[in-house]
Each structure stands twice: as C-alpha cells, then as structure tokens.
C-alpha cells in the first residue's frame, strides 16, 4: 500500500530494500516482500503506468556503498522513464 | 470462511464508467481474512482506480469504509448517513453481503468488486482451499471427515469412479482422488465397513434459496 500510495501521490519511482535473501530476521520476510513488490508492479501495469517504477533490492546493513550504488541506479532508471504522469494531480 | 477473489481490474473499471463519486464498502470478516475485500484491499483498489481514472483525464472521487460484516443489518446501518453522498456503491464483500447492501439501498446501484468462489480453509497466508459446497446434507461422519461432494471432481457419494489413478484423480495428477483418501482415512480408523454403505445422491435439483431459523429464535409473533 505504501508503494502504491507513493506513486499515486506523484513519486516518479519507489524502491524497497530488504536484507540479503536467506538472511532475513523474519526468515522469509524479505522473500514475501519481494512477492508483494512484484504484485504492486502488476497493479501499476493494470492501471496504465510502468510497473518498473517500483523495484526491490537486497543488501546487508554493512553495505553502505552498495546502497548508494542502488540509489544511483534507481535514479538513472527513473530519469529514463520520465516523470510520473500523475504528478500534475498531486496536491501542493 | 467464505473465500472470494477480486474481479479483474478492467472489469471493475468498466463497471464504474460514468460514475464520478463512489463509496467502496469493504467487509471485515471472511473476505478480510482471505485478503480480498477488507480495509487494506479497499484502499488498494481505490488507489488503483484513482490512478487509472486520472490517467484517463476522468477523475473519480472514492470513499472508503469497511464494516464488520455486510451480511448483518446492524453493521450496514452505520452506512445509512453516508451512502446519500454517493452515486453508486462498490462492494468488496461476498455475494451475500453485496445483495444485503443492495437490499438496504434499493435506489442505489450496488456493484460487485469480487467474485465469491468457495467455502474453504486457510492453508497459509494468502493460500485457501475449498472444503465445503454447503449441500445441506453432510455425510462427513461416514466418509472419515473428507467431503466427497467437494473433494471428488464428480461429487460422487459412492466412489471411486473408474478414473481413479494410483490415488490421483483423472482430471489432474495434482488432485488427490477423494475416495482413495476416504478409504485410507477409514482404514486407519478401522471403520472400513462404512464405505460399503450406500448413500443417496445430493438432491441438487430444484434448489430454492435456503433459510435457517435456529430453534428458539423465532420472532414472538411467528412462534406457534
């Protein structure tokens, strides 16, 4: 819902970050999260937006540089998709 | 619980064509448990519809409310002062709830956002399996607690049929043969004599809507 709400309110893209697969404190929590993110991508496609505006990455808490690299990758990716067409409807 | 599945988004969007202000009514019981029509699912559907209609340059105003049960008047009553503000109601309850909502507000279009699918059990989060067809003639006492109406593809009361295949049903290797399972369960309980009994078929023909009034619950003016 949070991912969907962000796009609904005009965000150009959103990414969720989970722990490395197999290292989740909640055992399969990050695998289930990936399923949910995949579902949100399908919902966005149904609505008429690019599902790839939402992505999921996995890394450990000690991988600061990787986190930054993913952030840059996502930023570049979003730029290539262009602005969210819903932005004009966002309030304020 | 009653299990339902959300209708395809395009179908829902098509139903709402022409409406500008709609109240989406969720149900907090069965369809909330099976993750189809509870509070969260109402919010998700509303978000999708809001985005899709904006992309079409045809925005829609959507309200959201989830009542405890749409199949109970006392909970529907809480909607009485809200529905007048809308052109139509979208219901995410099971078929019973949707009809009860439509019955309470007969002047209002009430549209279904889900397809009611079966009475089932919870195998895991988001994973449900059918177990009962509500045939009104339960034989589970004699079949080891396995329902032949639901679990046998042919609904046979006196099986198995010739399609049983090494414990599987002829329709799919994924589908266990209900009567093979019944045999195994009864054998384990040393009650195999029960499988030799003959049972009359379910009288599905000419079914009419069923009503149940529990003993001692007749309204005083109806009591004999």
- CATH at residue B6: 3.40.50.2300
- Identify the CA nearest to B105 among candidates B122, B127, B81, B124: B81
In a domain, B156, yes or no: yes
* Residue B3, φ and ψ in degrees, nearest 5: -105, 135
My answer on whether B20 and B75 are in the same domain is yes
B14 contact A CB<8A: no
Domain encompassing residue B46:
2-118
In a domain, B124, yes or no: no
My answer on whether B18 and B87 are in the same domain is yes
My answer on whether B154 and B103 are in the same domain is no
My answer on whether B137 and B80 are in the same domain is no
pLDDT of residue A63: 87
State the average pLDDT over residues B146-160.
92
Q: Point out the residue among B52, B59, B125 whose CB comes nearest to the CB of A47.
A: B52
- Identify the CA nearest to B52 among candidates B7, B86, B85, B12: B12
B51 contact A CB<8A: yes
DSSP state of B201: P
Secondary structure class of A17 (helix, strand, coil):
strand
pTM of the model: 0.88
B11 contact A CB<8A: no
Shortest distance between the Cα of A20 and any Cα of chain B, in A, equals 22
Q: Are A43 and B44 within 8 A, CB to CB?
A: yes
My answer on whether B27 and B83 are in the same domain is yes
My answer on whether B99 and B150 are in the same domain is no
State the average pLDDT over residues A45-58.
94
How far apart, in whole angstroms, are the C-alpha atoms of residue A89 and residue A3?
Answer: 17
Shortest distance between the Cα of A74 and any Cα of chain B, in A, equals 22
- Half-sphere exposure of residue A69, counting CA atoms within 13 Å on the CB side? 7
B223: pLDDT strictly greater than 80: no
Q: State how many domains chain B has.
A: 2
Lowest pLDDT segment from B86-90, B154-158, B201-205? B201-205
Q: Are B9 and A5 within 8 A, CB to CB?
A: no
A7 contact B CB<8A: yes
My answer on whether B106 and B145 are in the same domain is no
My answer on whether B105 and B42 are in the same domain is yes
pLDDT of residue B224: 60
Question: pLDDT band at residue A54, thresholds of 50, 70 and 90?
Answer: very high
In a domain, B220, yes or no: no
Q: Point out the residue among A5, A44, A86 whose CB comes nearest to the CB of B54.
A: A86
In a domain, B19, yes or no: yes
Q: Are A43 and B9 within 8 A, CB to CB?
A: yes
Q: Are B48 and A7 within 8 A, CB to CB?
A: no
In a domain, B100, yes or no: yes
In a domain, B211, yes or no: no
My answer on whether B113 and B138 are in the same domain is no
Q: Point out the residue among A1, A32, A49 whose CB comes nearest to the CB of B51.
A: A49
How far apart, in whole angstroms, are the C-alpha atoms of residue A7 and residue A4?
Answer: 5
pLDDT of residue B106: 97
In a domain, B215, yes or no: no
């Amino acid at each position: 819902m949070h991912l969907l709400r962000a796009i609904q309110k005009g965000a150009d893209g959103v990414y969720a970050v989970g722990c490395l697969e197999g290292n989740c404190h909640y055992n399969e929590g990050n695998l289930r999260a990936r399923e949910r993110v995949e579902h949100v991508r399908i919902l966005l496609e149904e609505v008429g937006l690019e599902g790839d505006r939402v992505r999921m990455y996995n890394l450990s808490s000690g991988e600061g540089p990787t986190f930054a690299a993913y952030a840059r990758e996502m930023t570049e990716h979003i730029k290539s998709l262009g602005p969210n067409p819903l932005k004009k409807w966002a309030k304020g | 619980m009653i299990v339902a599945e959300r209708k395809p988004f395009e179908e829902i969007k098509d139903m709402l064509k022409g409406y500008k202000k709609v109240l989406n009514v969720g149900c907090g019981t069965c369809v909330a448990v099976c993750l189809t029509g509870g509070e969260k699912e109402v919010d998700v559907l509303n978000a999708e519809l809001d985005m899709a209609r904006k992309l079409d340059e045809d925005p829609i105003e959507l309200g959201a409310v989830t009542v405890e049960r749409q199949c109970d008047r006392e909970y529907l009553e809480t909607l009485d002062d809200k529905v007048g503000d809308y052109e139509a109601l979208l219901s995410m309850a099971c078929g019973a709830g949707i009809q009860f909502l439509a019955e309470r507000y007969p002047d209002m279009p009430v549209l279904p956002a889900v397809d009611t699918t079966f009475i089932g059990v919870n195998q895991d989060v988001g994973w449900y399996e059918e177990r009962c067809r509500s045939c009104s003639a339960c034989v589970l006492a004699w079949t080891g607690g396995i329902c032949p109406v639901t679990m046998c593809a042919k609904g046979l009361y006196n099986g198995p049929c010739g399609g049983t295949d090494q414990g599987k049903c002829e329709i799919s290797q994924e589908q266990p043969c209900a009567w093979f399972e019944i045999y195994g369960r009864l054998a384990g309980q040393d009650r195999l004599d029960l499988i030799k009994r003959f049972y009359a078929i379910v009288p599905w023909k000419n079914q009419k809507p069923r009503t149940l009034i529990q003993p001692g619950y007749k309204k005083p003016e109806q009591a004999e």
